[in-house]
Chain A
């Protein structure tokens, strides 16, 4: 029994959630109830059935729901989410009828929102038009032009802006054209002049030709607006602008008031409508017969019984449940404690594990934290990186790259502190009280550390080959599986030979025997590997790649020591200048250490992930798993009506 338990535990750690493909057949009149309950449970990844039957359709009320959805969703976009609300009074999601009733009751409010938004849009449009008119009319200040007085049946006018260099030419052209005109000229700036030309309508064509030749810009004047002297019009327009501003402010205030009072209520209704919409649409993935419908999908094996119990209760036993035997690849569901979820995010850099292969995430988590800790290994830096990570986590949203990476930094600061203790490093300093527990000396034990990192690399490459053996064996690639096992002999004997010849760690006889064995097993591995033989050179390069742990660790510690040497403040005597210098040096010291920590945090995460994903995973990992996407509802403002379990009975 205990062996079974242990195996089950190993399976839970090294394999993703076990999945079962199922088929449910039930009566048409139970469809909505079953859909709603599946939606609430969120355990079934619904897939289109391969049965040769007719496709089912969306529920008939989808049109009404869709219209309500668009209406409420667009109304909500015009409201601001209230800030500093600690508790939301959640609404109970009872039935579709009630949701539609609630939506209908909000009609006056929604219409009011739309009407306010429409008024605001119209005011803002008017304001833009006024701004354009103001820009044009301000050109005429001081000209004394009043279009109301000029306007007549026989006269017309043009206003143009011309480069100063063309002034004489345009005047000459007007004179030479023998037309009746009057013009008012106003210098706008150093380079341009405004020409306002009043002319007889009969000469319009001639004037227009001249203007087309010389005008740099033609000003379109709204003659309905231009019914007074420019100064008076500007005054009137500015008064109107103030009125518009007041109106817009009033509208904004009312919208803010609605947001404050009604945002959560409308958001709750929207949430319920969205859920109802998803429920109405999902049957498009079903198949149907005259009186029944068929659902197929993947469910975690441990949820099968619960699912059957719910179906039993809903249908009073009138349903058919089938566990489908298939070679199809099951979706991947990673089921880890939430504290380690960010590592799944980092794993996503590579790809999701397939459901039928070893899930190496736990090894990844363990080794990543060790590599990260070794690369920074400083108690002070560990504490500082923890503070930085927690500060970032407080500032950013809980979803996304930055939050997840910060959580990894926060967790990984623990090994940084542990390795800091073991290497006696506090902001680049060594403390005498920690001498007794110091086992790593980065400055003096470089040869030992380089050998240690290579051995870590050898260990990971061997572990990768072992996991690859299991993967290949499981996928019935026995020849390749054997080659993986033989390659382990190559790695071990090769390492002994190199250590013996280069560092004289072993006797000549053992070194020579190991070298010969390594060469023979390498040949056998190459023959058995077939196409994968080209990757065998990685068996040598990948362990060496682990020396980067020493490289980055050493760099971080040397930089910390240099910062200390250059900027550690000392206070020889208490004078104002000395105290000021002390404070400034202390600030510089702190800033430089923070920068070194930030560089270390980025390098640590990139190199730690890289050693796992490139050097380790490439040995065995297949990846490209299909993510388990259960049909589930997401609620923030509402809660689902409680499901009555009293009648639940299990029958298979």
Chain B
């Protein structure tokens, strides 16, 4: 990989400079918007003229002022250039697009956009801060006793969610998002716990939970909604209708530790 990277960088220099950046980019705009133009020239869009993205600027140039402020680019304007980008090719079918969002609401076209609002400062990751500035219900879940370490900077929202796509155009199975990091529990298991194979979120809320291990319900409720308890193994004296003590009820996985699947035990105990 290192060789590839070195060749790519060297090759890029060997190819020489790309078409020179238009010195005239934003010349007319710079007289009033000098900081924005200066940042723009250093950025990835540095050789793109202001008018390429800011439509309806003629009136503003003729009569500068807030009343004639040019519009921000919509997604269609961005995709005029970003049409060959595989990660954004299904944008039109994404949940964000359906919600009426434009690219500029997350991306700064001159410099990377930073989230506003001091409540989002609790997240270390910049991308997650942006997500949290709208998805406040999810942000609250990251303060629960059990949560994915987004606040702590170990994972990012965009590590699991593709903001440019949606479930409708996803080619990943329901468990594959989780097992791209949690390979140790994906098996293949000779003896599966079938609901686990279907969907991790039947039992876990990946954002946060008041219950241990991100469980959507605490044990034993989570397990008892599907399973009956056999008296012969769980009740005092193994007697029918005898009481089942708190020791057996408090944590089903204390005995059934291979709850995600086992290599050789039907009862998922090891």
**A and B are partners in one complex rather than unrelated chains:** no
Q: Which residues in A have some Cβ–Cβ distance to B below 8 Å? A: none
